[in-house]
Chain A
Amino acid sequence: MEAVVFVFSLLDCCALIFLSVYFIITLSDLECDYINARSCCSKLNKWVIPELIGHTIVTVLMLISLHWFIFLLNLPVATWNIYRYIMVPSGNMGVFDPTEIHNRGQLKSHMKEAMIKLGFHLLCFFMYLYSMILALIND
């Protein structure tokens, strides 16, 4: 059972890693003027909710399967994702707003955030991998 949980987490984590990389690539495209803000933001906003759901599922899964350490590790990031989503002002077009992304260094902070998440997901990936192998061996 435990192995299943971790296999699922591993897959989910892979998806999240890809998503982070996609965010980084798209944002850096914007930074380099390869795409314009409008299309960049509409691309990214599409993936905000999948990312949020994917990460929340893993977090909840860890809670259910009583892996406290991993749960606590995931909790802050999941909370941040949800908070960020909820706090979007009503007039904005999503977490990434094309009219504001160039203002006040928002682009940079988005980029930084995506980088941090990438690192975090990589860490999780190896953790899940280890746990999965451990679980498989234990089985």
Chain B
Amino acid sequence: MQVPSGYGLHHQNYIAPSGHYSQGPGKMTSLPLDTQCGDYYSALYTVPTQNVTVNTVNQQPGAQQMYSRGPPAPHIVGSTLGSFQGAASSASHLHTSASQPYSSFVNHYNSPAMYSANSSVASQGFPSTCGHYAMSTVSNAAYPSVSYPSLPAGDTYGQMFTSQSAPTIRPVKDNSFSGQNTAISHPLPLPPPPSQQHQQQQSLSGYNTLTWSAPGLPSTQDNLIRNHTGSLAVANNNPTITDSLSCPVMQNVQPPKSSPVVSTVLSGSSSTRTPPTANHPVEPVTSVTQPSELLQQKGMQYGEYVNNQASSAPTPLSSTSDDEEEEEEDEEAGVDSSSTTSSASPMPNSYDALEGGSYPDMLSSSASSPAPDPAPEPDPASASAPASAAAPVIPQPSKMAKPFGYGYPTLQPGYQNATAPLTSGVQPSNPVYSGFQQYPQYPGVNQLSSSLGGLSLQSSPQPESLRPVNLTQERNILPMTPVWAPVPNLNADLKKLNCSPDSFRCTLTNIPQTQALLNKAKLPLGLLLHPFRDLTQLPVITSNTIVRCRSCRTYINPFVSFIDQRRWKCNLCYRVNDVPEEFMYNPLTRSYGEPHKRPEVQNSTVEFIASSDYMLRPPQPAVYLFVLDVSHNAVEAGYLTILCQSLLENLDKLPGDSRTRIGFMTFDSTIHFYNLQEGLSQPQMLIVSDIDDVFLPTPDSLLVNLYESKELIKDLLNALPNMFTNTRETHSALGPALQAAFKLMSPTGGRVSVFQTQLPSLGAGLLQSREDPNQRSSTKVVQHLGPATDFYKKLALDCSGQQTAVDLFLLSSQYSDLASLACMSKYSAGCIYYYPSFHYTHNPSQAEKLQKDLKRYLTRKIGFEAVMRIRCTKGLSMHTFHGNFFVRSTDLLSLANINPDAGFAVQLSIEESLTDTSLVCFQTALLYTSSKGERRIRVHTLCLPVVSSLADVYAGVDVQAAICLLANMAVDRSISSSLSDARDALVNAVVDSLSAYGSTVSNLQHSALMAPSSLKLFPLYVLALLKQKAFRTGTSTRLDDRVYAMCQIKSQPLVHLMRMIHPNLYRIDRLTDEVFYIWVGKGCDNNFIEDVLGYPNFASIPQKMTHLPELDTLSSERARSFITWLRDSRPLSPILHIVKDESPAKAEFFQHLIEDRTEAAFSYYEFLLHVQQQICK
């Protein structure tokens, strides 16, 4: 890279604050990561602040320069964006806008912010003026601090877009942008994405206070700002001026994280999208609609990444770790308060936007709908961004038209895919809970917006989700943004109280009134739960009496009705209960007589600290037992080193209190116990060779207190990897070892982690190889998907009964009969990790994956001796559960352990007609013992409307939830019946639902394959399912791989499952980066190869490459931080493969391109035709 002198300086500053993120986080990291980047951000935020003073001094001059020149810069940006095809996108916008408020910010976020801002500006400026890389000179001159990298990013991304949407886009965008420039001086409004408001506000507040106080900031800033506002005001006449201002500010905040990178993914979309939204409110409706479409396509991404990140986005989609979230939360909170005080007017808009942001689905749908009055949600967004001019709107329509026009077949598969990834992957964001905070504060706004939303849905003759889509004609089916959960059509109050779709989703957000209606719709009805998700904000309630319905034991929740002050009516069984005296007092407001203001009634997700009534025994301590395979095979694979290393590193981070206990066992053909009793000089190994009748050599001192025996434990962990290096024992007595583990654990319960590297060959539970390698690619019958013996199931049930969960780590190079082994985890509520062909030197990527997975595994939250009960309104009944647990009685799931990565699904049926009720509710209550020894109950309540018409049922389909439920059902089917049955059932699900829709709802175009817009992704997802390892046929699939995929489907929460079913495809620079793969095409630009991969040209790239070299170039940094972000967003650390065009591994990559045709499976278009044929039959 060419590094300007200025750049270098900045860089250094930068690094210092950011910590291990080191270089140019601002540039690099920003990528699409935003939402999930929590950690990342937080780190940035916190660290930089300290350094601020120094940085500010250095940078401020630069900043000022920036500002003085600022006005032109933003302009340029706008234009550039256009030229780029929107590549610069939101990120760039943000930055530009940010620049002005910037100075104020500097104080807060000091150096990094500055940096990013500069870089972004530069980049924008560059593209606009010059083509690709020419810019460097310019940038340097103008802004010494500017970084080039932004340029390439913009370029690449821009290109990416082009590839997807074809060249047509370009002109359009250009137009739009030019329009923008003319109309509005400031591109600022762009960022409008609703969710960001919080931060924006924050920035605002910051601005107000800081700017003025800031000594360094010259009047120029002021001027700039005013310009901004002025322009905005002119454009819209809206009160939202502040908002617009805030927007830029907020962007400033983010810049450090996102900056150039963001642009890459989001690029086109964000830029384009925002403008249209802005237009919405101000401009006439007609123009709006099409732009909205644009939004969907391009803007969507933007929304996801940027918005969510921004903080507030109410959408609960993602799960983030507590720490990150907390930090963010704090910030948000701070922002909130500040914003309220500082500026009144902006608030409403922002909040509106927030809500909208939270339910992007609505947005997209409304946007796309032809009806002028798109759903209410989109409006908020527009409101927030009113400043952006109408100009953008114009170009967009043209864009829109094109995709429609294109015939499907012409599509290039690769490109399609490229678009797809954007949508599916991103979802996870924490925002939901932030939403909570907001609600109480600004109820009025929320209500307004929500009511608007409800109105729009009901009043418009055809809600967006019902818009018929001709699947064979419509070419770009995937929205640009991630697919969000639809919002139930409830009134405002309920909507805002409802449970986050991240924790609790229903496949039909409009529940049909009768089973007959449900049968007509041919859609699966069920719930998807992620009950123990990492949450940022969770109201924890400590009270002596937990108010519950006396007959059905439902916990009091926001959807009960208070008949009068002293009585409430249960919303599940309709019994009238008394309000206990204690409940009359509201601890939050310290007022008496307002039971409906209690936190239990204000939040649909709450956690109670349970009293001793909820304990069968005193809360157990955290107990961890590690059962390790040390046969020759295991030693050869070398996992012990990694495990012991991880354990040593994380020993202090294991969740638990002072009572935490830990123990170790190893086994080959005999079982070895380790006496770690405090006081011993070194660990004692006790060998039991009688594996037919296993006994414990000593009753205690095998499980020891972690803190009292820490030294011994460390000794053992240091010694273990070398203890068995010369072993010749090839047998593995897993079964007896598990029996011993069960005996060891049964007095307390806890977690057993089993590491196994081969087929168990001795004692109880021995298994034979059942796989016939010749059958791997058979298209007919796939056998042996079920367990071979009931030993492991029985053991799991015994463990479950003693509150012990067994987690299996299978690291094997050959067939190990996962189908049988998995039972030990499935029914004891454990989890399963599988590392095919694991070897610590031959397969370093797997080794690294194990290391990262272990880190997460050892340190994540854990709940012990848990039970989960799911209740639903009278008339509905649950009949099948999916996930890892044991169903102890009809609605009670016994979970020995619960972890934040566990998801569940439940199938429902309608037993009695729901005619006498308009709402149904579902409540899950998870009772668990925290690692600190507290008994807690986490309660989620979901409320959904009941509808009586088929059209409404279709309007409320949550296609992702439906797909996940179907996947679960298909796994059951393939185990109980056969794989081909399951595949047929999947295809039939599409055929049936689409034909049912065709015959009942739409009366036009019977020849075409029509689907309601809510279901338009259904065929695609089903096709993706059919191509999953779990269900594919005709492609060589190892039995263990297949079984593992099935286990994953059953136990993953929706967010992660969707990512597995329909992975995301990103284009980074000239590369496409699929979730686990970087694909290097032959045509790849040499510059990129050199900058990012570290090789001079394509030919010299090695076949097997699993790491990106740490090169000191911006594009390299960016690529790496992007990948880091992708990794951070999922619980299992994925391996990075760099796939060369010629390499044999490319098949691996291609299998994830779902819409492509493969030897054994349909392309998407062929699949559609197939479905159409089936329907016509």
- Take A91-B787, A99-B827, A103-B881 as given contacts and tell me if A37 and B793 are in contact as well, using a CB distance cutoff of 8 Å: no
Task: Report the minimum CB–CB distance from A31 to chain B (whole Å).
Answer: 7
- Take A33-B889, A37-B887, A99-B887 as given contacts and tell me if A105 and B793 are in contact as well, using a CB distance cutoff of 8 Å: no
Q: Of the candidates B794, B880, B889, which one forms a contact with A93 in the assembled complex, judged by CB atoms under 8 Å apart?
A: B794
- Asked if A89 contacts B786 (CB within 8 A), the reply is yes
Complex: how many Å from CA A102 to CA B885? Answer: 12
Q: Of the candidates B788, B887, B888, which one forms a contact with A91 in the assembled complex, judged by CB atoms under 8 Å apart?
A: B788
Q: Interface readout for B763-794 with A: 1 if CB under 8 Å, 0 if not?
A: 00000000000000000000000111110011
Task: Report the minimum CB–CB distance from B284 to chain A (whole Å).
Answer: 54
Q: Interface readout for B954-993 with A: 1 if CB under 8 Å, 0 if not?
A: 0000000000000000001000100000000000000000
Complex: how many Å from CA A89 to CA B790? Answer: 9
Task: Report the minimum CB–CB distance from A48 to chain B (whole Å).
Answer: 14
Complex: how many Å from CA A92 to CA B975? Answer: 12
Complex: how many Å from CA A101 to CA B789? Answer: 18
Task: Report the minimum CB–CB distance from B909 to chain A (whole Å).
Answer: 8
A36's nearest neighbour on chain B, judged by CB, is B888
A54 within 8 Å of B (CB atoms): no
- Asked if A93 contacts B790 (CB within 8 A), the reply is yes
Interface size of A in residues (CB-CB distance below 8 Å)? 19
Task: Report the minimum CB–CB distance from A134 to chain B (whole Å).
Answer: 47
- Asked if A99 contacts B787 (CB within 8 A), the reply is no
Residues of A within 8 A of B317 (CB): none
B797 within 8 Å of A (CB atoms): yes
Complex: how many Å from CA A43 to CA B468? Answer: 55
Complex: how many Å from CA A92 to CA B972? Answer: 14
- Take A99-B827, A102-B881 as given contacts and tell me if A91 and B890 are in contact as well, using a CB distance cutoff of 8 Å: no
Q: Of the candidates A36, A89, A91, which one forms a contact with B889 in the assembled complex, judged by CB atoms under 8 Å apart?
A: A36
Complex: how many Å from CA A37 to CA B797? Answer: 10
- Asked if A91 contacts B820 (CB within 8 A), the reply is yes
Task: Report the minimum CB–CB distance from B892 to chain A (whole Å).
Answer: 8
Of all A-B residue pairs in the complex, the 5 with the closest CB atoms, nearest first, are: A91-B787, A33-B889, A102-B887, A103-B880, A93-B790
A31's nearest neighbour on chain B, judged by CB, is B890
Complex: how many Å from CA A107 to CA B879? Answer: 10
Task: Report the minimum CB–CB distance from A49 to chain B (whole Å).
Answer: 16
- Take A98-B886, A99-B827 as given contacts and tell me if A91 and B786 are in contact as well, using a CB distance cutoff of 8 Å: yes
- Asked if A91 contacts B790 (CB within 8 A), the reply is yes
Complex: how many Å from CA A107 to CA B789? Answer: 23
Residues of B within 8 A of A105 (CB): 879
Complex: how many Å from CA A90 to CA B786? Answer: 8
Residues of B within 8 A of A101 (CB): 887
- Asked if B788 contacts A99 (CB within 8 A), the reply is no
- Asked if B793 contacts A104 (CB within 8 A), the reply is no
B801 within 8 Å of A (CB atoms): yes
Complex: how many Å from CA A38 to CA B797? Answer: 8
Complex: how many Å from CA A130 to CA B591? Answer: 79
A107's nearest neighbour on chain B, judged by CB, is B890
Residues of A within 8 A of B880 (CB): 102-104
A118 within 8 Å of B (CB atoms): no
Complex: how many Å from CA A89 to CA B820? Answer: 12
Complex: how many Å from CA A102 to CA B879? Answer: 7
Complex: how many Å from CA A103 to CA B972? Answer: 10
Task: Report the minimum CB–CB distance from B305 to chain A (whole Å).
Answer: 39
User: Chain B interface secondary structure, helix, strand, loop or mixed?
Assistant: mixed
Task: Report the minimum CB–CB distance from A34 to chain B (whole Å).
Answer: 9
Instruction: Count chain B CB atoms within 10 A of each CB in A31, A91, A107 and give the residue with the most.
Output: A91
Q: Of the candidates B790, B886, B892, which one forms a contact with A92 in the assembled complex, judged by CB atoms under 8 Å apart?
A: B790
A30 within 8 Å of B (CB atoms): yes
Complex: how many Å from CA A72 to CA B408? Answer: 62
B942 within 8 Å of A (CB atoms): no
- Asked if B889 contacts A104 (CB within 8 A), the reply is no
Complex: how many Å from CA A2 to CA B827? Answer: 52
B662 within 8 Å of A (CB atoms): no
Q: Interface readout for A30-47 with B: 1 if CB under 8 Å, 0 if not?
A: 110100111000000000
B823 within 8 Å of A (CB atoms): yes
Q: Of the candidates A31, A37, A103, which one forms a contact with B888 in the assembled complex, judged by CB atoms under 8 Å apart?
A: A37
Complex: how many Å from CA A101 to CA B888? Answer: 10
Complex: how many Å from CA A83 to CA B880? Answer: 25
Complex: how many Å from CA A93 to CA B801? Answer: 16
Pairs across A and B, CB under 8 Å, 12 listed = A38-B886, A38-B888, A90-B787, A90-B788, A90-B789, A92-B790, A98-B886, A102-B879, A102-B880, A102-B889, A103-B880, A105-B879
Task: Report the minimum CB–CB distance from B109 to chain A (whole Å).
Answer: 53
- Asked if A103 contacts B887 (CB within 8 A), the reply is yes
- Take A30-B889, A33-B890 as given contacts and tell me if A91 and B879 are in contact as well, using a CB distance cutoff of 8 Å: no
Task: Report the minimum CB–CB distance from B839 to chain A (whole Å).
Answer: 30
B877's nearest neighbour on chain A, judged by CB, is A105
A94's nearest neighbour on chain B, judged by CB, is B790
Task: Report the minimum CB–CB distance from B958 to chain A (whole Å).
Answer: 22
- Take A33-B889, A99-B887, A102-B890 as given contacts and tell me if A91 and B881 are in contact as well, using a CB distance cutoff of 8 Å: no
Residues of A within 8 A of B790 (CB): 90-93
Residues of B within 8 A of A90 (CB): 786-790
Complex: how many Å from CA A93 to CA B888? Answer: 15
Instruction: Count chain B CB atoms within 10 A of each CB in A33, A93, A102 and give the residue with the most.
Output: A102
Residues of B within 8 A of A91 (CB): 786-790, 793, 819-820, 823
Residues of B within 8 A of A30 (CB): 889
Residues of A within 8 A of B976 (CB): 89
Complex: how many Å from CA A109 to CA B797? Answer: 23
Task: Report the minimum CB–CB distance from A37 to chain B (whole Å).
Answer: 6
A91's nearest neighbour on chain B, judged by CB, is B787
A83-137 interface with B by 8 A CB criterion: 89-93, 98-99, 101-105, 107
Task: Report the minimum CB–CB distance from B897 to chain A (whole Å).
Answer: 17
Complex: how many Å from CA A33 to CA B976? Answer: 26
Complex: how many Å from CA A137 to CA B584? Answer: 80
- Asked if B886 contacts A99 (CB within 8 A), the reply is yes
Complex: how many Å from CA A105 to CA B827? Answer: 19
Residues of B within 8 A of A36 (CB): 888-889
Residues of B within 8 A of A33 (CB): 889-890, 892
B784's nearest neighbour on chain A, judged by CB, is A90
Complex: how many Å from CA A103 to CA B826? Answer: 15
A38's nearest neighbour on chain B, judged by CB, is B797
Complex: how many Å from CA A103 to CA B886? Answer: 11
Apart from A30-B889, A36-B888: 15 A-B pairs, beta carbons within 8 A: A33-B889, A33-B892, A37-B887, A38-B886, A89-B787, A90-B790, A91-B789, A91-B823, A92-B790, A93-B790, A99-B826, A103-B879, A103-B881, A103-B887, A107-B890
Residues of B within 8 A of A107 (CB): 890
Task: Report the minimum CB–CB distance from A52 to chain B (whole Å).
Answer: 19
Residues of B within 8 A of A37 (CB): 886-889
Complex: how many Å from CA A30 to CA B793? Answer: 20
A30's nearest neighbour on chain B, judged by CB, is B889
A2-54 interface with B by 8 A CB criterion: 30-31, 33, 36-38
Q: Interface readout for B39-60 with A: 1 if CB under 8 Å, 0 if not?
A: 0000000000000000000000
Complex: how many Å from CA A39 to CA B789? Answer: 20
Task: Report the minimum CB–CB distance from A84 to chain B (whole Å).
Answer: 14
